[in-house]
Amino acid sequence: MKFDNVFPGNIFEKSFDIFNKSNESIVLKINAICLNQEFETLDEYVYSLRRNTNYDYNEKFIVLLQPYKNI
């Protein structure tokens, strides 16, 4: 998922759902990758993923998704 123009000081969020339609648990590895070279060189934390179950903000999550469940 790519975001259009996001400038320093602006907050942009995008929500999406993932549903496991199989009979088996699956492991998902979700990474946020900054494609803006100017932002990558900053010492500040300028991008993250938000996990809505406990409001953790990180650049990556690993999730075990049970059969017929969604996140």
H helix runs in the chain, sequence order:
37-40
- pTM for the full model? 0.58
2-51 per-position pLDDT tens digit: 556 666 666 777 778 889 999 999 999 988 777 777 776 776 666 677 77
Exposure string of 15-34, with b = 16+ CB inside 10 Å and e = fewer, is eeeeebeeeeeeeeeeeeee
Return the domain boundaries, the chain. 26-65
Q: Residue 7's pLDDT is what?
A: 65
Q: Tell me what percent of the residues of the chain surpass a pLDDT of 70.
A: 72
- How sure is the predictor about 63, in pLDDT bands with cuts at 50, 70 and 90? confident
